[in-house]
Amino acid sequence: MAFLKKGILQILIFSIFLSGSTPNAFSPMALAAETHKKATISTALESLLQSEPDLKGSLAGISIRDQESGNILYEHMSDLRLTPASNMKLLTSAVALKVLGEDYQFITEIYGDGRVVNGHLKGNLYIKGNGDTSLLATDLEKMAKELKQKGIRYIDGNIIGDDSWYDDTPYSVDLAWSDESTYYGAPISALTLSPNKEYDAGTVLLEIKPGKNIGEPVVINSIPRTSEIKIKNMVKTGDKESGTSLKVERKHNSKVVTVTGRLPITTSLKKEWVSVDNPTKYTLDVFQQALKKEGIQWNGAVQKGKTPQIASLITTHASIPLSELLIPFMKLSNNTIAETLIKEMGVVKKGKGSFEKGLAVLKEELIAFQLDPNKMLIRDGSGISPIDYISANDLSLFLYEVQAEPWFATFSQALPVSGMEERLVGGTLRNRLNGENTKGKVIAKTGTLTSVSTLSGYMESTNGKKYIFSILLNHLVDEEKGKEIEDRIIETLAEY
């Protein structure tokens, strides 16, 4: 049977060759060219990998495909399941586009459960979150103004924050406690707030300036101002020769943020982000400030709760569409947006905003991209778990398959671009691959964890040839060395 199949294939190749057709995937000329190309790339990359001392004792999963045909041009440990770090966001963003759609928006709603009489709302006021990670303090101020315009001057009841759109599990399963105070480890809530348009939801931005004199404490301002953090300033102003050494910490279940270190007196401004312990209470606190700014008062408590069915909708705020949200999400590798999208897909497809339901949706949808989720281990949507596992071949195949989707342009435009210095263009690649052969020619997702560095995406060589690649480096002693190796691999490809 094998001999018969081989004979049929030979006849098919010979007949196509005799027909005088333009060389294609079946012609001897094309096959010979493909074989030569593979040999050339393989020789160059194998030589590079063998000469890298920082890869000794490490694992390197590499898969390189022709972007047009999807054919594998080079592979090294390509079927070995490895930790992808933030390359996991490639899957999350694509499936979110498929399930939710490019125009999907997250709606924040305000309800009242009583009538408005002579400027008094005779009942409670509810602010209900539905997963908007792009909600800003200015949006809350706008909603407070709309309440005033609708004649509400006094709330004869409580102000209630409703975050019931998602479950009450704030962290993905493998997030370390030591990461809880960081911007990339902020808790997930359906009612949350971002300090600026990078949309690190559930965090406060600290602006730190040196004091007037050497030895004096620095000046720390928070954006937005909130009672949900209490800053313990232990940073001193150093002389102009002293280095910058800032450390921001918040202990588990605490509002106290301790800032230590030193800041040179010549520093203009340093920015640091710290997560809050409870995003819902944080949003409620800033919302109270917005109400007070409009002169709206109340006589009840400010607390968490659930909006009753009898409540009437007063006003709403719509987020930016998903297509726009993907820019800070992918360019800046925003973990909070990733995990929120997971929960949102759980609500939309399974009726429950939980990590479990959302990840089930993610795995089910991967089948449409020719992937087998049973051959992977997916623990979150951001890639912060050290035991997410996927192969380089699966990632490169996924990147090939998504090209056929109607939203591919939105997906690809959200990826970081090599050497482009603007933060929301170059993203995490803005200071990498900025040489003549690679600047602006690589769009790819970076990934970094302790001992892990990854890079997967699309690139164009100097002669216009386009490649899909996935590079997963694990068990590194120094992940920064891993980035250098990734860049050398891409630079080598650019020459072929």
What are the catalytic residues? 86, 89, 333
- What backbone phi and psi angles, to 5 degrees, belong to 245? -140, 95
Which of 191, 204, 203, 224 has the alpha carbon at shortest distance from 108?
191
How many Å apart are CA 360 and CA 312, to the nearest integer? 34
Q: Which amino acid is at 339?
A: E
Which residues does 184 contact at the CB level (< 8 Å), separation at least 6?
A: 333, 334, 335, 336, 382, 384
Q: Is the separation of the CB atoms in 264 and 242 below 8 Å?
A: yes
Give the burial string for 92-120 (b: 16+ CB within 10 Å, else e). bbbbbbbbbebebbbebbbbbbbebeeeb
CA-to-CA dists, residue 301 to 119, 128, 219, 284, 369, angstroms: 19, 16, 33, 11, 50
Q: How far apart are the first and last CA of the chain?
A: 39
Contacts of 411 (CB under 8 A, 6+ apart): 93, 94, 97, 326, 402, 405
Rg (CA), the chain: 26
Element (H or E) spanning 275, and its range?
A: strand 270-275
Q: How far apart are CA 351 and CA 337, in angstroms?
A: 19
Q: Which residue from 50, 56, 74 is spatially nearest to 64, judged by alpha carbons? A: 74
Question: What gap in Å lies between CA 154 and CA 5, rounded to an integer?
Answer: 83
